[in-house]
Structure 1
Amino acid sequence: MIKHTLLLAGLGAALPFSAHAADAGDNSLERVTVTGSNLRASSKAKTNPVQVVSAADIERSGKTSLPDVLRSLAVNSGNSFNEQYTGSFSAGTAGVSLRGLGQRNTLVLVNGKRVSNYATAQDLQETFVDLNSLPLKAVKRIEILKDGASAIYGSDAIAGVVNIILYPSYQGLELGADIGRDTSTGQDERRFNLLAGKGDPDKDGYNVWFSFDAQKRDRLDQSGVDWLKDNDFRGLPGGKLVRTPTNYYNGNPTQRFPAATGPLQDLDYGAVNPGKSGRIWAYNPAQYTTLIPGIERYHAALHGSYRLNAATEAYAEFLYGANHSTQIFGPPLSVSGSLRAWDAASQSLTSISNVLPAGNPSNPNAAPTPITANLFDLGQRNKTDSVSFRRLLLGVKGSGDAWDWDVSGLYSDSRLREYAYNFVNRYAYERLLANGGYNFIDPSRNSEAARDSLRISTMRPAWYRVASLDATASTELAQLPAGPVGFAAGYQLRREMMNAGTSSEVASGAELRPALDLIRGGRTIQAAYGEFNVPLHKTLSLSAAARADHYSDFGNAFSPKLGLRYQPLQSLTLRGSVSRGFRAPSLPEITSSTAVSYSSAQDPYDPLTPGQNVAFTHLITANPNIKPERSTNANLGLVLAPSADTSVSLDYYRIQQRDVIGLEDVGNIIRNPGANPGAIVRDAQGRLQTITQQFTNLGDRETSGFDIELRQGWKLPGGKLTLAAQWSRLLSFRQPLQQGGDMQEGAGSNLLGALPRWKGQTSASWDAGNWSSTLTWFHTDGYTQTGSDTTQQRVDGLDTFNLSASYAGIKRTTLTAAVQNLTNRRPPWDSSASHYYDATQYDPGGRAFTLGVRYKLD
């Protein structure tokens, strides 16, 4: 594979982004501050592996949102989520996961400073920055530090840092609009953007600019995707007919109601559950499944700077984002033995009866009879998430003969209002169940008054806030024969708070089968840090940094880093670093929190369907005694850049984490009930009902791999051809599945989330006069299937191509066109994934066209 990759890259594959190594082809001596350091130095003196994606690169890529840009990068290798993760408490969001270590281990900054995490937690524990809340038009470049950076930035920077850098100043006016359509799914998208600025900082002493983005995209349901809508995968490895049995008595699907209602079909039980016999009622859940929510998003950014004197500048920045996403939450509520409601007094769930009393019109028996039934006449349950994001930054910075300094204050928050519709009122249900006022067998006979009494709409609130004060100063301490000794120091005071609540209907016990994630807590962080850069020789420099953090909830963390940069030739640079880092326990993991969700797992002890997937209620609580995750990072690399148009880089990384926080594998708990007393609750039949867990420090995690980046440009008679490639190879990714367990290898499989060994992109860009075009090849490797169903042993890889072009031959106007997924490839079949493709790597769309126009006035 490596020979194949290098050959293709050498023949002309090129990354659409300028993702070459930080040193490659850089002849500028401008003094800049680069992500991963507080020191200003010439751009040739960069010591960290930093990938740079410019605004022009983003435009060339054809990508139209910040998450799409970042998720396509090879270093975003797995375990990252976007709005396809619709079953989450953080539906409609998108994050980035460097090195496959999850969103919680990737620090996202804007202009080198923090932004608020999203209002709720992903997977009940991950707090992260929602990329959908951040602007795209205001972005000048994105710097991705592919190295640990806790010594500079503190918590969360174990896998690396994504620093979104906005324009420091802008003059002129730019308007843009585009439309897009996926020809396979019919999904439409519309976008508009504006960027306007005035004032020359050098001549006028000030600059102010404003940007605005707007985006609207249709909802995509599973029923709108041709290869998914029938939910019949019996011809594929590990595939089956996906139907949900319902409307039956006594927990036995073959004891079905006398007639079908709503979307029910008459099916052979063995077709749905091999080995079973009899006839059942079942429905296709595709019609109640949203794959990609419909969205409306608006982003605004306002930035101003004012020269107080020749050496001092005041600046202010305000970011605002509004995001509205809509989706089908699920089918009409199912009444079954797993029916629950929340008991606020005991902070636990209480069981709600599904037993029809004797004499109930829907009960054909003389004795009380339990039922399983969907309330189809109430309609599907829907959800709308409305999120607002804000960040205000005020600061003053100066540059004198000896010191450069920057003092700033920041406030940022994320606020969620989640609205749910067509949920069911527990008290009305209990009343109608007792008096026979609701007909389960023939819902068409129910009165509208009965239906209206059952329906409730709810609103779930949540917010996350961060406020900080930062002060940084840098200088040159001494002059050595090889150059000046750089020094920087700083202090940070930060306050974080989170409050994720639930609806009044859930809190009062009125909502049936509630899902909730209650989080309430806060903490104060203080940090002091310092950094040195020492030129030991004209070819060799040493960098050192250290940061001490104090958290009011768990205590202290110390994070040192040491790096070397050796340049024996003008065209060759060798670099290496070792560091220690940490991730503070998230507020859901360590503070007061309780989560209730619903999941499924294979249960070998199920009395009806042993070894098959069964549904259960999942209760998760915080652990106030949990320890932070610690890490040791090592990086070693080289950059060969014989000219400004040629560069090759190779970087090796190794990350070792200790005390990784998580939950023990649910399957292991089910298989070993004696080792987990009290964690499992079963009903009178022995069927799985509830599993209770607490966050814990599971043990170690280790990962290693390397990045290859190649770039070559030629100035030809007709224009310029740029060829480049960026590939990441995952060598190992190991961690235990439960506390004290053996390390399990996840690289090249989906045991620890889908982690393909190779991910990369190669493309060719051609610029000729007013024309510009880029053809990009994206490759994601296949991986081994690790589910218990061994019918599918491997999930295939995927190769897709994007093509973009622009024409600037009209005065002040640029026309653009792009085709995503040029060959209309669908994601590879994965029998273990919830939607039968891995949503952390792919999306269900096909060939999509985009047409746009941009008008620019200087």
Structure 2
Amino acid sequence: MKKGITLTALAVSTVLAGSFQTALAEEGEVERIEVTGSHIKRSDMEGPSPVQSISASDLAATGSTDLIGALQKLPVAGTGTFSTQGNSSDDTANGGSSVALRGLGASSTLVLINGRRVAVSPFAKDIETSFVDLNTIPVSAVKRIDVLKDGASATYGSDAVAGVINIILRNDIDGFEVAAKVSDTADGGGEEQNFTLLWGNSTNKGHHNFTLDYFKRGDVFYSDRDYTATADQTFRGGNNSLSSSGFPGSIEVERASLSDEQWARLPVVRTEDDGTQVRQTLFADVWGNDVCPADMIIGDICRYDYAPHMSLVPSTERVTFNYNGVQEIMDGVEGFAEFSAQHASTFIQGAASPSFTELTMAGDNPNHPLANQPDHFLHGVDISMRRRTVDIGNRKKDVDSEYYRAVMGMRGQWQDWEWEFAYSAIRSSAVEKGFDGFPNKRLAQQAIDEGRWNPFEPSTNTQEGLDFFETTTTRYGSSSMQSLDGTISGELFEFGDGYVSAAFGFEHRYEKIEDNPDNQYLRGEIFGTEATQANGDRDNTAVFAEFSAPLLENLELQLALRHEDYSDFGNTTDPKVAFRWTPIDSVVVRGSWGTAFRAPSLVQLHLGRTDESPSVIDKERCKQTGADADCSPTEYTAIVAGNKLLQPEESENFNLGVIWQATDTFSIGVDYWNYDQEDLIKKIGAQKLVDCCGTDPNLVVRAPSQGSTLGRILEINDTFVNIGGRETDGLDLDIEYLLTTSEMGELRFNYNLTYTLNFEEQSFESDDDGNTSTVVEDLNGEYQHPKYRWTAGVDWSMDDYIANLSFNYVDKNLDLADSNGDKYEIDSWTTVDTSVSYVGYDKLTVTIGASNLFNEEAPLAPSESMGIDNKTHSALGRQVYLKFGYQF
């Protein structure tokens, strides 16, 4: 039988709807609404779980034209949050962005639209992270965003480990609206244009809302910012991260390809205590007419500065359509539908392709750089090379993506019970085309062997010879999801001073993902560029129940339970218990406890062999040689593959908080949160593997050792594992104050803080004898884990003017350790956003504003190639914008 869900399933809900006897709510009854984190409708927004709501005006105040620009400023956002910043030819999720709540990863944060799931992006981030691409949702279509800040697997299922981001679409448009925004950066690049048309109508029978949004952003290159314009960051006190794959490059020899006589002719760099002579095997190209520039020779390697040629932010163009509507079908029954479609184009550029000993040249090749020097020790020696194919230009890629989402359903009332059924179908697809600067390894090797291309004398090559091995690449990906869900909720029986309410429901979901690079990638013929391959699908069926009981007049208890059955790894059951207590009218005490899980993503289960080119410090070899190539970041080939034996991540979380409404104008809320995860799924990482297991030939493949001196790294084998556990806890603080004056207008102050007390994670470590063990690392305050973040702001309104001023703070944190084990302190970072709007014109609003008003540079992070941490800080600088909105 064909897997999936058909429209026949929707027809079932239609028949059931017709069989229900409906009843209208009594006139004047208090409206009950469904809040994020519960399937039971309630009369107030403040439930037992902590929810932060971000309104459309809050989003506008950030100055961001896309959702990620606003959400990444939230204090609750942490490690794993990413935007398109840092997208280059080496990125595997070009054009995508997502948020990671609590720093637990984007794949542990569930993203919903109007309370329902969304298909993940077809291309995973950093090879391993499946995520919902927030760029598919324009800001103009958003009414508000609810951020549920505790685990919610008992309510929503997999991935809701750290919390939920529920994006509520606009349903309040009545008439016709047009809006436009233009912006530019102070330091160049990243100019934006955004135009939006909105129209809709609302009657007592329903409402219909349409949005058409156009967004365009120009690219930003690292060279557009003076502090990121070079990979040699020593002028800022950072590392020299120039590529070890240079132009025209370096020559490398391996012991296995040399005779004893040839090996004995190599220069001796030192003699070990036992008399073993350690010989030089890497040489910068300084022979012939085309030589490595003297300022690019560091140690034995010809380096290359790739920074000026890399995209910091790729150029993007998106057109998005959204419809959101409800229409009464009969008394007490209404149908609803949501449709979204988007076409997006992204252009990415990276430096010329690097090779790391993939290409070789025989000793008798006429183009051998020492062919005319018979007395040289490399004459007639088979060699490999580290070089950039600058000859054929920088790598350039276009990514064209399509996104479609449809939701159709009905809701109504049967006696005292409310019911809802819906069918959803979502598909996201992308085609990535590499159209310039990509070499085919097999053809390049053939060109070397046949004399068509001389890699050591680039000036002598012909266009015909270069065209022989330059190629175009294609990568196709798609992600789809179909689901059928239904809920029924109402009051079970009277209890004390209220009623015990309940909700029961089900969800059946079918997911499929395809990520297929062309045959050149699959045959390993494209070097220096990452591309993933993954194909898999799964079915999932879930049933759930939820209860809300008024134990006392001022004490509410919430219970939830969800059982999920997966076709590819088994089943899981997750409970949640929460309470809401109001000891006095001005104080609310709330708490929750529950378990959560994250199913292994289809990428983590089914990823085929994938090559990447991480920069790694070979710390053990550095201790032995002291060579720059071993003691500074050097690129190596790492091979990553999926693991079908993975088990789901499991977690336990609890939250305890209090809200004090001191006066009508002042409130303060404090929440303590705690997460305990087990069987964490992670790609171990090239640096971690080299640090812990650098002598294990199954994990780190090296050239033969010379005496006790380890051979150079040739290849690193990485995969996904259930690595162990993670524990983190902390505090959230929310303060709001409203000041109304007769002469200065109205001032609304707010302060939001997330303070992490602990962030411990299990990892691998090895002792001096090479024995591997699992240890616990405290990452709090370490790289990409600042201890706290806060935002503070004031909104002011008076007569025809509205203004806001906000501060965004990211705490300092320690960078990754260098070869000596020392850690640089990355400075804290504070930026200021502001805007002023004039609403005195009839139906017209004009706004001028700026993000990062004082043009604060991103602080130095020495471990990063260009000296900035793209996932924590932004290099865009000051961005000034002008926008208007008109209602007809």
The secondary structure found in structure 1 opposite 2:286 is coil
Q: Does 1:841 align with 2:867?
A: no
The Cα of 1:30 is off from its aligned counterpart by: 4.0
Code of the aligned partner of 1:624:
K
Q: Does 1:605 align with 2:621?
A: yes
Deviation digits for residues 186-212 of structure 1 (CA, Å, limit 9, x no counterpart)? 431111112111241x1xx23222102
Q: Does 1:689 align with 2:714?
A: yes
Correspondence for 2:334 among 304, 307, 313: 313
In the aligned structure 2, how far is the partner of 1:510 from the partner of 1:232?
A: 30
Deviation digits for residues 322-369 of structure 1 (CA, Å, limit 9, x no counterpart)? 2211121332x34441x2xxxxxxxxxxxx534464322655354144
In the aligned structure 2, how far is the partner of 1:757 from the partner of 1:215?
A: 35
Correspondence for 2:309 among 265, 285, 288: 288
The Cα of 1:260 is off from its aligned counterpart by: 4.1
The secondary structure found in structure 2 opposite 1:695 is strand
Alignment partner, residue 805 of structure 2: 775
Correspondence for 1:714 among 705, 714, 739: 739
The secondary structure found in structure 2 opposite 1:501 is strand
The Cα of 1:231 is off from its aligned counterpart by: 4.0
The secondary structure found in structure 2 opposite 1:234 is helix
Alignment partner, residue 360 of structure 2: 353
In the aligned structure 2, how far is the partner of 1:641 from the partner of 1:297?
A: 43
Q: Is the 8 A contact 2:638 2:686 kept in 1?
A: no
Q: Cα RMSD between the aligned structures?
A: 2.2
Deviation digits for residues 85-143 of structure 1 (CA, Å, limit 9, x no counterpart)? 42321122100010000101100000000011000212222111011111221111100
Which runs of structure 2 are paired with 1:23-42 in the superposition (5 Å)? Answer: 30-42=31-43
| Closer/same/farther in 2, CA of residues 741 and 404 from structure 1, 3 Å limit | same
In the aligned structure 2, how far is the partner of 1:281 from the partner of 1:511?
A: 22
Correspondence for 1:469 among 484, 495, 505: 484
Q: Could you tell me the TM-score, scaled by structure 2's length?
A: 0.87
Code of the aligned partner of 2:223:
S
In the aligned structure 2, how far is the partner of 1:542 from the partner of 1:47?
A: 8
Which runs of structure 2 are paired with 1:814-853 in the superposition (5 Å)? Answer: 814-853=845-884
| Closer/same/farther in 2, CA of residues 144 and 611 from structure 1, 3 Å limit | same
In the aligned structure 1, how far is the partner of 2:694 from the partner of 2:869?
A: 33
Q: Is the 8 A contact 1:542 1:565 kept in 2?
A: yes
Deviation digits for residues 215-234 of structure 1 (CA, Å, limit 9, x no counterpart)? 11111111111122144432
Q: Does 1:810 align with 2:841?
A: yes
Correspondence for 2:761 among 735, 745, 748: 735
Code of the aligned partner of 2:641:
T
Code of the aligned partner of 1:38:
H
| Closer/same/farther in 2, CA of residues 334 and 728 from structure 1, 3 Å limit | closer
Correspondence for 2:140 among 130, 137, 140: 137
The secondary structure found in structure 1 opposite 2:636 is strand
Code of the aligned partner of 1:70:
L
Correspondence for 1:699 among 724, 727, 731: 724
Gaps of 5+ in 1: 1-27, 340-351
The secondary structure found in structure 2 opposite 1:327 is strand
Alignment partner, residue 493 of structure 1: 508
The Cα of 1:671 is off from its aligned counterpart by: 4.1
The Cα of 1:511 is off from its aligned counterpart by: 3.4
Which runs of structure 2 are paired with 1:353-372 in the superposition (5 Å)? Answer: 353-355=360-362, 357-360=364-367, 362-364=369-371, 365=373, 366-370=379-383, 371-372=385-386
Task: Point out the more displaced range, 654-663 or 447-456.
Answer: 447-456
Q: Is the 8 A contact 2:596 2:652 kept in 1?
A: yes
In the aligned structure 2, how far is the partner of 1:509 from the partner of 1:664?
A: 22
In the aligned structure 2, how far is the partner of 1:335 from the partner of 1:160?
A: 42
Alignment partner, residue 125 of structure 1: 128
The secondary structure found in structure 1 opposite 2:282 is coil
Alignment partner, residue 117 of structure 2: 114
Code of the aligned partner of 1:367:
G
Task: Point out the more displaced range, 712-721 or 727-736.
Answer: 712-721
In the aligned structure 2, how far is the partner of 1:462 from the partner of 1:391?
A: 17
In the aligned structure 2, how far is the partner of 1:488 from the partner of 1:696?
A: 37
Code of the aligned partner of 1:650:
V
Alignment partner, residue 156 of structure 1: 159
In the aligned structure 1, how far is the partner of 2:388 from the partner of 2:694?
A: 35
In the aligned structure 1, how far is the partner of 2:131 from the partner of 2:854?
A: 34
The Cα of 1:446 is off from its aligned counterpart by: 2.0
Q: Does 1:626 align with 2:646?
A: yes
Q: Is the 8 A contact 2:35 2:45 kept in 1?
A: no
Q: How many residues align?
A: 801
The Cα of 1:683 is off from its aligned counterpart by: 3.4
In the aligned structure 2, how far is the partner of 1:600 from the partner of 1:377?
A: 23
Alignment partner, residue 180 of structure 1: 183
| Closer/same/farther in 2, CA of residues 334 and 537 from structure 1, 3 Å limit | closer
In the aligned structure 1, how far is the partner of 2:694 from the partner of 2:520?
A: 37
Q: Does 1:638 align with 2:638?
A: no
| Closer/same/farther in 2, CA of residues 385 and 610 from structure 1, 3 Å limit | same
Q: Is the 8 A contact 1:821 1:847 kept in 2?
A: yes
Q: Is the 8 A contact 1:150 1:158 kept in 2?
A: yes
In the aligned structure 2, how far is the partner of 1:740 from the partner of 1:562?
A: 37
Correspondence for 2:99 among 83, 96, 99: 96
In the aligned structure 1, how far is the partner of 2:320 from the partner of 2:575?
A: 37
Alignment partner, residue 77 of structure 1: 78
Q: Is the 8 A contact 1:222 1:291 kept in 2?
A: yes
Deviation digits for residues 776-799 of structure 1 (CA, Å, limit 9, x no counterpart)? 011110012341256653111011
Q: Is the 8 A contact 1:361 1:436 kept in 2?
A: no
Alignment partner, residue 251 of structure 2: 249
Q: Is the 8 A contact 2:453 2:461 kept in 1?
A: yes
The Cα of 1:485 is off from its aligned counterpart by: 0.9
In the aligned structure 2, how far is the partner of 1:725 from the partner of 1:799?
A: 14
Code of the aligned partner of 1:114:
R
| Closer/same/farther in 2, CA of residues 227 and 489 from structure 1, 3 Å limit | same
Q: Could you tell me the TM-score, scaled by structure 1's length?
A: 0.90
Code of the aligned partner of 1:74:
P
Deviation digits for residues 743-781 of structure 1 (CA, Å, limit 9, x no counterpart)? 11001111xxx1111101001110012110000011110
Code of the aligned partner of 1:469:
L
Q: In percent, how many aligned pairs have the same letter?
A: 28
| Closer/same/farther in 2, CA of residues 214 and 453 from structure 1, 3 Å limit | same
In the aligned structure 1, how far is the partner of 2:73 from the partner of 2:396?
A: 30
Alignment partner, residue 320 of structure 2: 299
Task: Point out the more displaced range, 400-409 or 321-330.
Answer: 321-330
In the aligned structure 1, how far is the partner of 2:533 from the partner of 2:296?
A: 42
Alignment partner, residue 43 of structure 1: 44
Code of the aligned partner of 1:725:
Y
The Cα of 1:268 is off from its aligned counterpart by: 6.7
| Closer/same/farther in 2, CA of residues 29 and 748 from structure 1, 3 Å limit | farther
Which ranges of 4 or more aligned residues in structure 1 deviate by more than 6 Å? none
Alignment partner, residue 519 of structure 2: 504
Q: Does 1:387 align with 2:401?
A: yes
Gaps of 5+ in 2: 1-28, 253-280, 374-378, 706-710, 765-771
Code of the aligned partner of 2:716:
I
Alignment partner, residue 207 of structure 2: 207
Q: Is the 8 A contact 1:785 1:794 kept in 2?
A: yes
In the aligned structure 1, how far is the partner of 2:639 from the partner of 2:527?
A: 16
Task: Point out the more displaced range, 44-53 or 560-569.
Answer: 44-53
Q: Greater Rg, structure 1 or structure 2?
A: 2
In the aligned structure 2, how far is the partner of 1:233 from the partner of 1:677?
A: 33
In the aligned structure 2, how far is the partner of 1:578 from the partner of 1:106?
A: 18
| Closer/same/farther in 2, CA of residues 850 and 601 from structure 1, 3 Å limit | same
| Closer/same/farther in 2, CA of residues 711 and 508 from structure 1, 3 Å limit | same
In the aligned structure 2, how far is the partner of 1:677 from the partner of 1:431?
A: 30
Alignment partner, residue 217 of structure 2: 217
Q: Is the 8 A contact 1:85 1:91 kept in 2?
A: no
